[in-house]
Amino acid sequence: MARRFDVVIIGGGISGTALLFLLARYTDLGRIALVEKCDDIAALNSHGRNNSQTLHCGDIETNYTLEKALQVQASARMLVNYVERLGESGTILHKYPKMVLGVGDEECAALRRRFEQFSPHYPGMRLLEREEIGAIEPRVTEGREEEVVALGVVDEYSGVNFQALAIDFATRARRAEGCEAEVMLATTVGRIEENGEGFRIDIEDESGSDSLQARFVIVSAGGHSLLFAQNMGYGHEYACLPVAGSFYYTPRLLNGKVYTVQNEKLPFAAIHGDPDILVPEKTRFGPTALLLPMLERHNYRTIPDFFRTFSFDRGVMKTLGGLLGVADVRNYMLKNMLFEVPYVRQRLFLKDARKIVPTMALEDLSFAEGIGGIRPVMIDKKNARLHLGEAKIDPGNGIIFNMTPSPGATSCLANGEKDLRRIVAQLGCRFDEAALERELKQD
């Protein structure tokens, strides 16, 4: 007989564990399960080796409008409040100075305008001229002739160990009073089938096959979420375009995070330099953006899964054709393919990295083997465009498929709250909204 749960969450990354915590702490649901195929919590994209370990606040991300930035700011505040009030801040959050660097007349003018618009909403934001930049990041101004200016924040959290945060979420969920929150590691999910009582989920672990019965199911498994959805007949209006990010290591050239201004024509992240929480003696530069036919980086067994989610039809062809028709995008994609070629890649990447550290030498750079994950970007086939924000499929029958959080792991609690409210509405359970507001949202 299937084991019964109120909610089953598939995927033990930062999004799945955040929802597990929220449900266990702020609702009266009695039994919740989280199912993760890996041996550890947050072993894939939420692991520090596979992301930039950044708390996105909307202040130095130049691809955000003010409206989007304020949404991101609220998401980041929830995460910081959780850690400071409930979690283990010493291992999760880290303070580094951060800035977005403008180089040349055009970028500098754009950042000055942005400061006027954004600084009333970000009290810690400073407009940094050359000398002030050099005082914080000497290697950024050393040997540089061009005009530079930066928007910077000096004394706020900017780095996150998202795996440590995910583990903390799961730990606190299991300790929650009045709720039995079970975490099943090394457990794969097979078929999900709707029935009269909700959903039956077939699972397998080292002890053999079993099944779970859930009143509500949340699938937070990256690109595999789309595969699960399509296997159930949903989400065929989407195709998955996996974008892999690679990084390069240098000795510790920077004291904090230095971002560059986003090219508005490129739908991918601009290069930045970051302290590496897991490798403190190094600075990590990147990411590159390479299209790869797999749903998990370095896992070739997921290549067939990619092709199951990537139906090469008219919508996909029109979207890719539109991208390749833009010279900046076409050249960028070609260059990122070359970033993966030994010998060539360091020399080519050095040109980009010198926008941040002008005196960087070739011998400073080493390709970060095994570092970097995959972001599953959704192609909206009906509208022939990339879906760059949060991607979610909700058929309205008690199952939700989350593909890509936006902006990444920072939004885990904010996105989890959306799913929590959806679950509460469907199941009619009690929701202690006042406690969530008090603990996670109030300054």
CATH of the domain at 172: 3.50.50.60
Of 122, 139, 154, at which residue does a domain stop? 154
Report the pLDDT averaged over residues 413-429.
Answer: 97
Residue 218 has pLDDT above 80, yes or no: yes
Average pLDDT value for residue range 353-378: 93
Would you state the pLDDT for residue 290? 85
Give CA torsion, residues 250, 253, 258, 262, to 10 deg.
-40
pLDDT, one tens digit per residue, over 222-271 is 889 999 999 999 999 999 888 888 899 999 999 999 999 988 777 667 89
- Percentage of the chain exceeding pLDDT 90: 74
What residue has token string 């009333």?
A: 120
Residues 317 and 221 in one domain: yes
Q: Give the mean pLDDT of the chain.
A: 92
- CA pair distance 97, 59, nearest whole angstrom: 13
Is 252 found in the same domain as 180?
Answer: yes
Say if residue 91 is in the same domain as residue 119: no
Does one domain contain both 105 and 206?
Answer: no
Q: Are residues 34 and 63 in the same domain?
A: yes
| Beta strands at 272-275 and 257-260: parallel, antiparallel or unpaired | antiparallel
Across 411-422, average pLDDT = 96
pLDDT above 70 for 149? yes
Name the domain count of the chain: 2
Half-sphere exposure of 402 (CA within 13 A, CB side): 25
Return the sign of the alpha-carbon dihedral for residues 42, 45, 46, 51: positive
So what's the pLDDT on residue 334? 83
Cα Rg for the chain, rounded, in angstroms?
A: 22
| 258 and 404, same domain (yes or no) | yes
Which domain-ending residue is among 154, 177, 198?
154
Q: Which domain holds residue 149?
A: 98-154
Confidence class of residue 330 from pLDDT cuts 50, 70 and 90?
confident
Provide mean pLDDT across the span 142-156: 96
pLDDT of 89: 63
Mean pLDDT of 24-51: 95
Q: Where are the alpha helices (DSSP H) in 41-142?
A: 66-85, 89-92, 105-118, 130-136, 138-141
261 in the same domain as 197? yes
Q: Residue 406 has what pLDDT?
A: 64
Helix axes 162-175, 14-26, angle to 10 degrees: 30
Q: Do both 407 and 364 map to the same domain?
A: yes
Per the rule left: phi > 0, alpha: psi between -120 and 50, beta: everything else, 53 is left
- What's the confidence (pLDDT) of residue 421? 98
Q: Measure the CA–CA gap between 182 and 6, rounded to whole angstroms.
A: 12
pLDDT, residue 298, reads 86
For residues 115 and 144, the answer to whether their CB atoms sit within 8 Å is no
- Among the candidates 129, 154, 179, a domain finishes at 154
Residue 329 has pLDDT above 80, yes or no: no
- The pLDDT value recorded for residue 443 is 86
Higher-confidence residue: 316 or 349? 349
> Given this model, what pLDDT does residue 310 score?
86
Predicted confidence at residue 338, as pLDDT, reads 82
| pLDDT at residue 192 tops 90 | yes
Q: Which two tokens stand for residue 423?
A: 């679950």
Q: Please check whether residue 215 is in contact with residue 427, taking contact to mean a CB–CB distance below 8 angstroms.
A: yes
Same domain? 68 vs 137: no
pLDDT per residue as tens digits for the range 58-99 = 999 998 999 999 999 999 999 999 999 987 767 899 999 999
Q: Report the percent of the chain where pLDDT is more than 70.
A: 98
- Tell me, yes or no, whether 56 and 104 share the same domain: no
- Range with top average pLDDT, 356-370, 377-391, 398-412: 356-370
- Is residue 294 pLDDT above 70, yes or no? yes
Same domain, yes or no: 187 and 320: yes
Say yes or no to pLDDT of 160 above 90. yes
Residues 362 and 372 in one domain: yes
